[in-house]
């Protein structure tokens, strides 16, 4: 049987982890807010002429700090925390669901980076597969239960574009989403969000297992393998995050989620194809050095962006 003192310490650790998560979410929220606006395609500040590291002329967009400053200028300091409440609720619900699933499936202990020699290769693979299955089920449950709060968060942030007030508060947003899209509206963008997370999880887990098993021998280096592979796999699957957030906004009744700013996508695949055609699947992935890739003209040796009114589309002819 479990020691009561041990169980008490585990509960304290859980609550301290939740408290730490809330603190981190609060501190990073203004930057996450700006990143979401970039991901859904909103650029309030015009690009300015600049040069690349190789000296070629380019158009540079404001970095994340300038973007946050712009939000503060428009909505004040409190405006930087728009969407924080549903975000915290969603993260806490996600953590609780993940913990319950992990306890239910009795997540096995994965072998340490040494990959003990006394264990057979078959046994190691079996343990890795069991841990991976548990992680997949845990991540899926956590995302599904938190998705309604994620949609509320994204739509509350997206109101910055058109200065709307459709989504105010958690309960008011729930009513508006149901009125606008029905029950399915609470799960807008769910499929690409799950796919991106699970593919990243599987890729990182597979690479970590392979590298630690066959390529790296030093114990000191194996400690960093998982973190490195997680970073790489997250970067590779980043477009799924962009598509998910765009789907959460599309057809939401907001200016940013309606033509001409954004089409009413019929599915996440439709959204992916549209963003891919315009080379926008990676927008927001770089937050410090950002270059404008849209239509532009050259005047007196300088690049200048072409505004929406100046751009001619075949469908307009």
pLDDT one-digit tens code per residue, 23-72: 888 899 999 999 999 999 999 988 888 887 777 888 889 999 999 999 99
In a domain, 241, yes or no: yes
Does residue 114 sit within a domain? yes
Say yes or no to pLDDT of 317 above 90. Answer: no
Q: Is residue 311 part of a domain?
A: no
Contact 161, 33 (CB under 8 A): no
| Residue 310 counted as domain residue | no
Give tens-digit pLDDT for 268-281. Answer: 999 999 999 988 99
Answering whether pTM is above 0.95, one says: no
Distance between CA 152 and CA 180 in Å, rounded? Answer: 12
Is position 135 within any domain?
yes
Q: What is the pLDDT of residue 298?
A: 59
Assigned domain for 290 exists: no
Q: How many CB atoms lie within 10 A of CB 225?
A: 19
Q: What is the Cα–Cα distance from 67 to 29, expressed in whole angstroms?
A: 13
Evaluate whether residue 68 is within a structural domain: no
User: b/e string for 12-47 if b means 16 or more Cβ within 10 A?
Assistant: eeeeeebeeeeeebeeebbebbbbbbbbbbbbeeeb
Give the closest residue to 292 by CA, choosing from 276, 301, 279.
279
φ, ψ of residue 46 in degrees (nearest 5)? -70, 150
Range(s) of the domain holding residue 264: 17-48+82-284
Q: Which of 45, 42, 37, 36 is nearest to 305 (CA)?
A: 45
C-alpha span between 158 and 75 (Å, rounded): 13
- If one counts the domains in the chain, the total is 1
Residue 148 lies in a domain: yes
Contacts of 269 (CB under 8 A, 6+ apart): none
Q: Crossing angle, helix 121-162 and helix 170-181, to 10 degrees?
A: 90
**Residue 213 maps to which CATH number?**
1.50.40.10
Per-residue pLDDT of 121-146, as tens digits, reads 778 778 888 888 999 999 999 999 99
CB 127 within 8 A of CB 111: yes
How far is 149 from 170, CA to CA, in rounded Å?
8
| pLDDT, mean over the chain | 84
**Least reliable range by pLDDT among 157-161, 203-207, 215-219:** 215-219
* Token pair for 53: 């590291």
| Distance of alpha carbon 200 from alpha carbon 203, whole angstroms | 5
């Amino acid at each position: 049987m479990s020691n009561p003192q041990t169980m008490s310490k585990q509960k304290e650790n859980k609550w301290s982890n939740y408290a730490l998560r809330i603190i981190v979410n609060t501190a990073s929220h203004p930057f996450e807010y700006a990143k979401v606006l970039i991901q859904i395609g909103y650029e309030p500040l015009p690009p300015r002429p600049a040069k690349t590291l190789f000296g070629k002329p380019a158009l540079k967009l404001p970095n994340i700090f300038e973007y946050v400053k712009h939000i503060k200028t428009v909505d004040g300091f409190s405006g930087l925390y728009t969407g924080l409440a549903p975000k915290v609720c969603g993260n806490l619900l996600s953590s609780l669901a993940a913990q319950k699933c992990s306890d239910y499936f009795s997540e096995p202990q994965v072998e340490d980076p040494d990959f003990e020699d006394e264990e057979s290769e078959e046994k190691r693979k079996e343990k890795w597969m069991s841990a991976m299955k548990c992680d997949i089920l845990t991540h899926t449950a956590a995302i599904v239960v938190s998705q309604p709060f994620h949609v509320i968060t994204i739509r509350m942030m997206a109101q910055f574009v058109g200065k709307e007030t459709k989504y105010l508060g958690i309960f008011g947003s729930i009513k508006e989403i149901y009125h606008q899209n029905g029950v399915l509206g609470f799960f807008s963008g769910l499929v690409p969000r799950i796919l991106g997370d699970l593919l990243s999880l599987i890729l990182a887990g597979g690479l970590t297992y392979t590298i630690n098993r066959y390529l790296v021998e030093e114990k000191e280096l194996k400690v960093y393998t998982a973190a490195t592979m997680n970073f790489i796999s997250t970067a590779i699957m980043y477009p799924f995050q962009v598509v998910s957030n765009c789907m959460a906004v599309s057809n939401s009744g907001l200016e940013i989620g309606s033509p001409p700013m954004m089409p009413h996508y019929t599915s996440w695949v439709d959204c992916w194809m549209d963003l891919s055609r315009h080379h926008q699947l990676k927008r927001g992935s770089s937050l410090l050095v950002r270059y404008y890739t849209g239509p532009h003209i050259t005047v007196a040796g300088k690049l200048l962006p072409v505004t929406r009114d100046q751009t001619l589309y075949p469908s307009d002819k």
